[in-house]
Chains A and B, each alone.
Chain A
Amino acid sequence: MSTVDKDGMLIDAKITLKRYTSIEHGNLSAVKAVVVHQTDAPTAQHTLNGYNAGGNGAHFLIAKNGDIYQTASTKKRCYHVGRLIKSKCLTLDKNSCDSAEMAVILAKSWSNQIKALDAHERQKAYPDRYPVNSDALGVEIVGKHLDDTQYEAVTPAQNTSLQWLLGELYRHFSLTKADIYRHPEVSYKNPGEAKGASW
């Protein structure tokens, strides 16, 4: 069973700590959800090399062989969700949406619609909306994209490690399975990303 140290790092023999402060962008005051990604890189080392330069990144990285790296503190925010979030009510239960406002938004062109949806959703608190960078951890699974709609398959070792890691995160942050999302569920991304991830 892992513990979390004062710096927000998970301490366990199964996790290699490789913290990159270059991908941390301010404090993460509360962890309410986890977003699962795929790296679009062929190996873990490619992603770790990229983290040296800063920019986007996530808190954990799972290599093809299932090795788990923690790459950012769970107390720090990473840019991994994306600028615009989708509408949770529109996706899961249209009846729970504010129908009058939603009708106005949906009449807009797609590019204006997604900005309006994001603004509308961000007025809500989680879990009424999808998670954002400031309340979610990110887990990256190593895997390249294959084309415009597909990514490499997630390996059995990666899924085993993902399930173990999420089990630890459930316990540390009082999360449930309902708080775990694939990246394309939450924001406008290649629909194949993390499709093969299971938990």
Chain B
Amino acid sequence: MRSIILASVCIILQACGNQLQIFKAADISNVYIANFVSDAPLQCKPTDVDLSNIQVKQFFQQAAEVEHKTLHDHYNYAPCAIEGTLTYQQQSCNWQVRAGATGYIQCAGEYRYFACDNCEQLFSPKAQK
């Protein structure tokens, strides 16, 4: 009986260990923008996602982590984005923020997806309203 309980606890702990831990935006540092990409340069321009390094950090602090399916079902995939690198919990990671206020952080091949419902001020250049 004791061995069954012990085995069950081990399985549960292993399952928990395999899941992504809760994202802690405070653990983000060294955010740097490295590139702008657009699949539709006439429609989706650098001014549509003109964030500073600090604003990118703000984006990930204000955004909610979501499953990719939620991103797909309920948010718009913008054809342009800024991307770069950051440090998350001592790991070097890649990130991307799209003009539709969605993004991801990729650390060691693992993607975490984000969407922000209250980030309009980060994506609305005054001159373009």
Interface set of A (CB-CB < 8 Å, partner B) = 40-41, 55-56, 82, 84, 106, 108-114, 145, 147-148, 184, 187-191, 193
CB contacts (< 8 Å) of A187 on chain B: these are 76
CB contacts (< 8 Å) of A188 on chain B: these are 76-79, 100
Q: Knowing A41-B69, A189-B72 touch, does A109 contact B78 (C-beta < 8 A)?
A: no
Main secondary structure of the interface of A (DSSP, over half): loop
Q: In the assembly, what is the distance between CA of A56 and CA of B129, in Å? A: 32
Size class of B's contact patch? 20 to 34
Q: B32-76 CB contact bits vs A (8 Å, 1 = yes)? A: 000000010011110111000000000000000000110011001
Tally of contacts, chain A with chain B, CB under 8 A:
59
Q: Does B80 contact A (CB under 8 A)?
A: yes
Q: In the assembly, what is the distance between CA of A145 and CA of B129, in Å? A: 34
Interface set of B (CB-CB < 8 Å, partner A) = 39, 42-45, 47-49, 68-69, 72-73, 76-80, 96, 99-101, 104, 111, 120, 123-125, 128-129
Q: Knowing A148-B104, A190-B72, A191-B39 touch, does A109 contact B128 (C-beta < 8 A)?
A: yes
Say yes or no: B78 contacts A110, CB within 8 Å.
yes
Say yes or no: A189 contacts B124, CB within 8 Å.
no
CB contacts (< 8 Å) of B47 on chain A: these are 109
Say yes or no: B48 contacts A148, CB within 8 Å.
no
Q: How far is the CB of B84 from chain A (nearest CB, A)?
A: 15
Q: Knowing A41-B69, A189-B72 touch, does A110 contact B43 (C-beta < 8 A)?
A: yes
